[in-house]
Structure 1
Amino acid sequence: MSRYHYVYLILATLVLGPVASAEEHIAQPFVGVTLRGLFLDDPRPLTIWVAEIDLTADGISFLVTPGNGDPNGSEAGDPNAETTRQTTLEFLKEQNAQLAINATFFGMSARDTDNLGLVVSAGEWVSPFREDWPSFNISSDNQASIVRGKHDTYQVTSRSQHENLYNAVTGSDQIVTNSKATTGRREFSTALHPRTAIGYTADKKLILATVDGRQPGVSEGMSLLELASLMLRFGSVQALNLDGGGSTTMVIADPEPRVLNTPSSKNKAGECGVLRKNGTNLAVFARRNPSYQRTAPVLRRANRGQAEQAVWSD
């Protein structure tokens, strides 16, 4: 058994209880990026994707969805319609990025939307702080930190010595604080949902994770405590819960752009996998790993034939 297989079985046991079976895929498609897929059958079916990004690796950079030119800027309380919604896959293609996930919670009533909390794109403020909601910032020199604030002021709550608001998104909860799980007991925290999380480690790695949910027999979601345990298992010292549910998406271009997970939104036939247009997404830019060769995808049949998902073969 490889070291990574051992880590995953320990992860599954500690986060979710005794595990009868687990399947794992690992790849390094880009310099400084390790991508892992975990497929569990017990104690409930789960599909998990985790990207570990070395913030010090050559060629690594990021971009949050830019604003759409709203003239009201960060003025509090007005309907800014700050960003134009697009799917995570559309954003990845538009920016020629290598990896991307969905990010900040947002209003879903229109194509142009407001975002629930701080959004900063390449140094340009798009949306102001939401009081009591934590934000995640990646500075221009790839220093990750948690920040909090009110409207156009902010306070750094990490130990980063190189703070500047450059690419920032906001989550509903800080699920890991100083290497400890910090989740509440409200229904949103304890219910099983599709989840998206972002965190960073002490050795300067960014952790991005998606967990599929609302797909009985295929992938049934996690609580926030389980999500925190997942992020802790990958070494996160600080981590946030980002927008989840039907927004949860992770995409890659290796080199063909494609969706890794199976979003929970359904088409008219009741089939999951419909991509939601999100208010913000986070793109990762990285250099191609010259030794990576994506072979023909293998079909993984989840939960003994109830669903199929194409993944790479190692």
Structure 2
Amino acid sequence: MDRRRHPLRTTLIAAGLTVVLAAGGGAVWAADRFLIPHVEIADVSTYEAENTTTTVEEDSTVGTVDGTTYSDGETTVTVTEVVTGSGDDTVTAYVADVVLGDATALRSAFANDQFGENIIDLTSSIAADNDAVFAINGDYYGFRDDGIVIRNGVVYRDDGAREGLVFYTDGSVAVYDETSTTADELLAEGAWNTVSFGPAIVEDGQVVDGIEDVEVDTNFGNHSIQGEQPRTIVGVTSENHLVFVVVDGRDEGYSRGMTLTEAADMLIGLGATTAYNLDGGGSSTMYFDGEVVNQPSNGGERGTSDILYIAW
């Protein structure tokens, strides 16, 4: 497996900053904000061990790819390629149907086992470092300095800014308004993991109105999430039953990507009553059983700050 760093997003932002540097102004601020790693916690594994109040149930995993099953425990992961349309209208997606033996089997990990801004690594590398059998890219928390970040039952950031998704230890999952609560309140209610990106595209089994007009961020370097794009989406069908979808895109004849409404319709078709959009575009990556199963739109993986995963 290629374990080299591939910080393409940083490279692209750096190219954009060249013009700013030439003009002076906020160049130093921009480089500090979007390029230079800022490590707030250097050893996340130790930090979580010292701060968690949640008992993690021992669990093992069953893996299935396109109908072939191999088993060694309670949690099941079934990954299927789904191709629709033809010609330039072709859409290629990868669907992971996940039944958790215990809600804490779904975990999060940060690039380089560090928490902070602009710290990135490949989804596959973060997954391998954490013995993951299955992983997707997360919300790219490190590209912003706000949002509520609770991972593996530990609070990392408490600065509500947008619509978030919370996974609870009882197996339930909910869309919530970050600005109307706090990380400590969520933790007291049993929060296990939160993600902060969005928007929610399915609620109560229905497509959410207005999703084609939502902007997640307005900060420098952020691009619109609208239009036909590569996508990473998490859907909820019932307690401890999740579907993760990665849609490839920007490749005519292989996969054009999906609009948010198309993605919502797909998730409803998969049985999801709730679905939430995660970081997409070149970040959209699904890893299973030691390899990346989709084709990221950059021609290879793009570095990200975090993953959601299931370990053996």
**Smaller-chain TM-score range?**
0.5 to 0.7
| Counterpart in the other structure of 2:212 | 185
Q: Separation in 2 of the partners of 1:239 and 1:121?
A: 19
Q: Do structure 1's residue 36 and structure 2's residue 80 form an aligned pair?
A: yes
Q: Do structure 1's residue 284 and structure 2's residue 310 form an aligned pair?
A: yes
Change (3 A) 1:59 1:125: closer
* 2:147 alignment partner AA: G
Change (3 A) 1:59 1:136: closer
Judge which range, 216-225 or 60-69, deviates more: 60-69
| Counterpart in the other structure of 1:229 | 265
Is 1:97–1:283's contact at 8 Å kept on the other side of the alignment?
yes
How far does residue 135 in structure 1 lie from its aligned partner after superposition? 2.0
How far does residue 59 in structure 1 lie from its aligned partner after superposition? 9.4
Is 1:66–1:120's contact at 8 Å kept on the other side of the alignment?
no
Q: Separation in 1 of the partners of 2:118 and 2:193?
A: 15
| Counterpart in the other structure of 2:296 | 263
* TM-score normalized with structure 1 length: 0.65
How far does residue 124 in structure 1 lie from its aligned partner after superposition? 1.5
3-state SS of 1:264 partner? coil
| Counterpart in the other structure of 2:176 | 147
3-state SS of 1:196 partner? strand
3-state SS of 1:50 partner? strand
* 1:63 alignment partner AA: R
Q: Separation in 2 of the partners of 1:123 and 1:155?
A: 10
Q: Do structure 1's residue 220 and structure 2's residue 260 form an aligned pair?
A: no
How far does residue 86 in structure 1 lie from its aligned partner after superposition? 1.6
| Counterpart in the other structure of 1:50 | 95
Q: Per-residue displacement from partner, 1:46-98 (whole Å, max 9, x unpaired)?
A: 2111111113x36970211248666xxxxxxxxxx347312110111011011
3-state SS of 2:265 partner? helix
Is 2:83–2:93's contact at 8 Å kept on the other side of the alignment?
yes
3-state SS of 2:243 partner? strand
Is 2:172–2:239's contact at 8 Å kept on the other side of the alignment?
no
Q: Separation in 2 of the partners of 1:28 and 1:126?
A: 37
Change (3 A) 1:128 1:179: same
Change (3 A) 1:252 1:177: same
* TM-score normalized with structure 2 length: 0.65
Mind listing any 5+ residue stretches in structure 1 that lack a counterpart?
Answer: 1-23, 71-80, 108-112, 266-271, 287-314
Change (3 A) 1:259 1:103: same
Is 2:102–2:240's contact at 8 Å kept on the other side of the alignment?
no
| Counterpart in the other structure of 1:127 | 157
| Counterpart in the other structure of 2:129 | 94
Please give the residue correspondences for 1:192-207 in structure 2 after superposition, counting only pairs within 5 Å.
Answer: 192-202=228-238, 204-207=240-243
How far does residue 170 in structure 1 lie from its aligned partner after superposition? 1.9
| Counterpart in the other structure of 2:55 | none
Change (3 A) 1:138 1:29: farther
Q: Separation in 1 of the partners of 2:267 and 2:181?
A: 30
Q: Separation in 2 of the partners of 1:203 and 1:152?
A: 23
How far does residue 29 in structure 1 lie from its aligned partner after superposition? 4.6
RMSD of aligned Cα (Å): 3.0
Is 2:123–2:307's contact at 8 Å kept on the other side of the alignment?
yes
Which among 109, 124, 144 is matched to residue 65 of structure 1? 109
Q: Separation in 2 of the partners of 1:165 and 1:223?
A: 30
How far does residue 143 in structure 1 lie from its aligned partner after superposition? 3.0
Q: Separation in 2 of the partners of 1:58 and 1:130?
A: 28
Change (3 A) 1:263 1:42: same
Q: Separation in 1 of the partners of 2:242 and 2:170?
A: 13
Is 2:164–2:195's contact at 8 Å kept on the other side of the alignment?
yes
Is 2:104–2:192's contact at 8 Å kept on the other side of the alignment?
no
Is 1:200–1:239's contact at 8 Å kept on the other side of the alignment?
yes
Is 1:175–1:225's contact at 8 Å kept on the other side of the alignment?
yes
3-state SS of 1:90 partner? helix
3-state SS of 1:93 partner? helix
Mind listing any 5+ residue stretches in structure 2 that lack a counterpart?
Answer: 1-64, 215-223
Q: Separation in 1 of the partners of 2:114 and 2:140?
A: 20
Q: Do structure 1's residue 164 and structure 2's residue 190 form an aligned pair?
A: yes
